[in-house]
Chains A and B, each alone.
Chain A
Amino acid sequence: MTTIALAPQRKRTGWLPTGILVLGAVYCLFPVLWILIASTKSRGELFATSTYVPDLGLGIVRNIGDLSSYSGGIFWQWMLNSVIYALIGGVLASAVSACCGYALAKYRFRGAGALFNVILAGVLLPPIVLAIPQYLLLSKVGLADSYAAVILPQLFNPYGIYLARIYANASVPDELLEAGRLDGAGEGTLFLSVGLRLMGPGLVTIFLLQFIAIWNNFLLPFVMLSSDSKFPLTVGLYSLLQHGADEASLYSLVIVGTLLAVLPVIVLFLSLQKYWKVDLVSGAVK
């Protein structure tokens, strides 16, 4: 009838869960694998040869070369722009979220509840709705088509604030703060030396989430920017795609560009794995 599974657990392989996981991994990796193969092919080969067979020659080097020389090396400018937007935006947005989340978690003050609700409501507004008005407002102060125009609106991230609040609740004990206050420490010192330090790992997670959100953002820079030298990778590659309809086909450039665009984030993932603690619910339920 039933088996009593008291035997040591690491000896046998569970084929069912492993099988399901492998299928899931294959499903998720398959398109990425496809880019890898497709980016080795030259423009002519891309549509003429079998999809599964990569060109093991110098195809990929040639494609990267073509991509690099397109429009004076603008692809690498796009890559640099993405790094600038995501790094600076990520750090600043994390700072904003950390401050706000900490305040909402550790202090009771007038308007805290209302503020939190308004912040959450910010998630609900589709970015498209705000894109043009944001553009018009920014250009009134002469900031349109600038790096600031892309970074500033992304500094406010309700998810980040929500997470920061949870982390602050979960990792910064009130008792510690009170002890500090009794010792005479000011709020600022407490925040910087106690609060932030304890929230540390959570802050890295917030930063990573912000980084990826900004790295992947398309619509905002698309509306704000008109100089293609300021495009991030998303808008740049999209513009290459669109140009495919006005001028000679640029699909191989788009494909190898996609591969190169995805690599930095993969590297970021692999190197910062342990920070992916998206411990949302435990914190919320506490």
Chain B
Amino acid sequence: MSSETLTRLADPPGTGQVRAARRGPSGHRGFPYLLVLPAVALLVLFVIAPGIYALILSFQTRHVSGGLLGTTSETVFAGVDNYRNALGDGTLWSSLLHMLLMAAITIPFTIGFALLFALCLDALRARLTRFARLSIFLPYAVPGVIATLLWGFLYLPATSPIGGNHINFFGQVAVFFSVGNVVLWGAVGFNMVVMFTALRALPRDIYDAAKIDGCTEWQIAVHVKIPLLRPAILMCSLFTVLAALQLYNEPNTLRPLANAISTTWVPLMKIYTDAFVNSDINLAAATSVLYAVAVLIISVIASRLVARRASGWSR
């Protein structure tokens, strides 16, 4: 890269600069391509190529032959068999349902609490804000697997300091909230910081005007700040939706601790189980493709909504 730069420096001055409009000098048209080259190369190597390979796998299957233990195995073309099996598998639909239930719990609570904490941090007379901001952000530093183990200890009756003896955190309904709590714990801090940063960037003169009009701080928060925060709230909602769709670490780590979670509790666990436990990489690939397409559609819709809401807002 540096030799290219040197070559450009050697170009006679004025080349192509006359027509330099707002963006993009035409004489050095190669440079942006150079800059994006590493990212594109990585994209192709580690996202597109594996993605295509997964697609190919989804149309194949493994067939054994050769005696009782089938010591010869060959990969054969399977058409849409894997897709048919995936869609016909009851456990996949249950896992989808579980994931949607989890999303319905985690998304509103995460955004709600993040917003609440951000507003409190921004409140004029709030104390201990730096301590609170750091503390609430701290869980972001804890890996999901570790955080889940921690909360597992807190839920289990034998080691729970928060009443695990009386509350069954792993009951059929309770388990959803227990898992949701772990997700919330890890996510609220990051979203809070995003919203708080956006709050800080808002011009203060609007508040002064509102105060002169007689609004209390509470009213300012609800009627002025929140509407102005709409883009940040929507952005965070997008993040939490994506995270909810990819839920994996929390239920997977809680699973060995109690009887409440199956090996196929959410779609990503189902994919993992198919690939690594049942050694059926082809079915896992098909399920992954279906899931990725579904996630893509949902995300495109969600981000269009965000973009429209965010840009449609006029101040």
Contacts and interface: CB of A to CB of B under 8 A. Distances in A.
A156 B39 contact: yes
A13 interface: yes
B5 A188 contact: yes
A285 to B, nearest CB: 5
A107 B139 contact: no
10 contacts: A1-B214, A100-B40, A102-B35, A109-B32, A124-B295, A130-B51, A152-B42, A156-B42, A188-B4, A241-B149
Contacts of A265: 141-142
Interface size class of B (residues with CB under 8 A): 35 or more
A259 to B, nearest CB: 10
B107 interface: no
Interface string B253-284: 10010000000000010011001000001001
Q: Which residue of B35, B138, B160, B188 has the most chain A CB atoms within 10 A of its CB atom?
A: B35
Contacts of A245: 256
Interface in B284-309: 284-285, 288-289, 291-292, 295-296, 299, 303
A130 B50 contact: yes
A284 B149 contact: no
Interface in A1-58: 1-6, 9-10, 12-14, 16-18, 20-22, 24-25, 27-29, 31-32, 34-35, 38, 47, 51-52
Nearest to B288: A129
A29 B29 CA distance: 52
Interface stretch (B60-68, B70-78, B89-97, B121-129): B121-129
Interface residues of A, number: 108
Given A187-B28, A234-B146, A17 B126 contact: yes
A281 B306 CA distance: 11
Contacts of A31: 139, 147, 150-151, 154, 185
A128 B271 contact: yes
Interface in A185-213: 186-189, 191-192, 212
Given A29-B135, A126-B246, A153-B42, 10 more contacts: A14-B124, A24-B113, A28-B135, A31-B185, A34-B154, A104-B36, A128-B268, A216-B143, A218-B145, A281-B310
B80 interface: no
A34 B40 CA distance: 44
Contact of B159 (A47, A268, A276): A47
A18 to B, nearest CB: 5
B88 interface: no
Given A32-B138, A103-B32, A281 B125 contact: no
Contact of A261 (B116, B146, B272, B303): B146
A248 interface: no
A181 B50 contact: no
B31 A187 contact: yes
B226 interface: no
A107 B246 contact: no
Interface in B105-130: 113, 116-117, 119-121, 123-129
B5 A186 contact: yes
Nearest to A267: B141
Contact of B232 (A128, A134, A281): A281
A284 B235 contact: yes
Nearest to A120: B303
Given A18-B126, A182-B17, A129 B271 contact: yes
B24 A109 contact: yes
B23 interface: yes
B17 A181 contact: yes
Nearest to B191: A278
B16 to A, nearest CB: 9
Contact of B36 (A115, A125, A234, A285): A115
B129 A21 contact: yes
Contact of A107 (B31, B45, B185, B271): B31
Contact of B143 (A129, A186, A215, A282): A215
A237 interface: yes
B149 A269 contact: no
B153 interface: yes
A278 B149 contact: no
B231 interface: yes
B25 A187 contact: yes
A238 B145 contact: yes
Given A28-B189, A34-B153, A100 B161 contact: no
B125 A13 contact: yes
B299 to A, nearest CB: 5
Nearest to B201: A282
Nearest to B217: A5
